[in-house]
């Protein structure tokens, strides 16, 4: 440790700049150097914990955030939240509960995973890839159950339990009110439902509504992606033959793309067969499925920043 004060000052500025630029490995190295010289600097511990949160390195993030808490004579909300996120990712529920209680957050139960109702929010899946936004039901301050049927390419499913960040990056209208948007940090519990992509033709909204309301054992949720997903031509992507009709100005678009969360293809086939039988205006064109892994984080982008922070528009696919 032969760095001079001037060199340490340069490393200090370089470390913070690296975080802003999304160069997390560089930031982790520089904060590590600074902590070698200043092991009791709670700000450096906090920043190292923050950097490793965005690296999804939960043991290291938790260790540095807990150290930042121990070195702070006052309650530090940010390090408590980041420590709780890391402890949640690791399933350390006693630590999680202690941290949320210290933040003044009331929790159901006294031990184990938290299973409450913390309201509806929106989560941006795979934010490092500019993924799609989905509505979720929060079961604790940083875990949520996916309510939409995400695109298979997202690597996520209806009913997944995901970990999300604590800081909101914006808001969306849920039909009644504005709700927070959070960046997803990982999938904690995969859903038992598989995603099936269904292409149908329906003569009118009543015909489509009959399909969306139908219930069959093994079906979790059916969603009209033609209405809810923007910036995506699913039929071209999946190779289902069709012609692009000039329907932009039409009152109704007969060709519909649906996402169906189901436990088996047989359940989807029964759902569609029951819907189409005896109705001349209802047609099933194709049932497709794909299994995709969530895309890995990409180095070199500050994906955790909100669009307002970056001065850019959000181009993610959205589900309403």
Question: Quick one: 22 and 57 in the same domain?
Answer: yes
Q: Which are the contacts of 278, defined by CB distance < 8 A and separation ≥ 6? A: none
Question: Quick one: 219 and 200 in the same domain?
Answer: yes
The total of structural domains in the chain comes to: 3
Question: Quick one: 153 and 205 in the same domain?
Answer: no
> Is position 299 within any domain?
no
CA dist list (Å): 155 to 75, 77, 129: 38, 32, 12
Question: Quick one: 174 and 237 in the same domain?
Answer: no
Q: How confident is the model at residue 175 (pLDDT cuts 50, 70, 90)?
A: confident
pTM metric for this prediction: 0.88
Question: Quick one: 73 and 11 in the same domain?
Answer: yes
The DSSP annotation for 116-139 comes to: ----EEEEESSGGGT--EEEEEEE
Question: Quick one: 11 and 50 in the same domain?
Answer: yes
> What is the pLDDT, as a whole number, of residue 313?
37
Question: Quick one: 184 and 199 in the same domain?
Answer: no
Between CA 211 and CA 48 the distance in angstroms is 51
> Is position 304 within any domain?
no
Share of the chain above pLDDT 70, in %: 89
Matching residue, tokens 């109705």: 279
> Is position 302 within any domain?
no
* Boundary of a domain, candidates 102, 131, 154: 102
**pLDDT digits 0-9 by tens, 231-248:** 545 555 444 555 655 544
Residue 232: give the domain boundaries.
Answer: 194-243+251-289
* Boundary of a domain, candidates 33, 68, 102: 102
Question: Quick one: 205 and 143 in the same domain?
Answer: no
């Amino acid at each position: 440790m032969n760095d001079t004060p001037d060199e340490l000052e340069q490393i200090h500025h370089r470390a913070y700049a690296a975080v802003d630029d999304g160069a997390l490995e560089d930031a982790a190295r520089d904060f590590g150097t600074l902590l070698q010289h200043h092991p009791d600097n709670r700000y450096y511990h906090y920043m190292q914990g923050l950097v490793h949160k965005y690296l999804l390195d939960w043991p290291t993030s938790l260790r540095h955030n807990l150290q930042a808490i121990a070195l702070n004579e006052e309650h530090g909300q940010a390090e408590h939240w980041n420590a709780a996120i890391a402890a949640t990712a690791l399933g350390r529920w006693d630590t999680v509960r202690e941290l949320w209680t210290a933040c003044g957050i009331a929790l159901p139960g006294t031990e184990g995973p938290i299973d409450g109702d913390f309201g509806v929010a929106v989560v941006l899946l795979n934010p490092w890839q500019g993924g799609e936004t989905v509505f979720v039901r929060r079961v604790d301050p940083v875990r949520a159950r996916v309510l939409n049927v995400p695109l298979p390419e997202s690597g996520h499913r209806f009913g997944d339990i995901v970990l999300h960040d604590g800081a909101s990056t914006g808001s969306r209208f849920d039909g009644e009110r504005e709700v927070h948007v959070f960046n997803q940090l990982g999938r904690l519990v995969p859903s038992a439902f598989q995603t099936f992509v269904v292409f149908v033709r329906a003569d009118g909204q009543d015909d489509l509504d009959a399909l969306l309301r139908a219930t069959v054992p093994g079906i979790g949720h059916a969603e009209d992606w033609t209405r809810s997903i923007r910036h995506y031509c699913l039929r071209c992507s999946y190779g289902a033959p069709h012609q692009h009709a000039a329907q932009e100005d039409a009152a109704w678009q007969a060709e519909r793309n649906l996402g169906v969360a189901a436990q088996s293809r047989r359940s989807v086939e029964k759902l569609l067969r029951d819907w189409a039988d005896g109705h001349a205006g209802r047609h099933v064109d194709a049932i497709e499925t794909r299994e995709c892994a969530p895309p890995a984080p990409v180095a070199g982008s500050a994906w955790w920043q909100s669009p307002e922070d970056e001065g850019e528009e959000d181009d993610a696919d959205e589900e309403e």
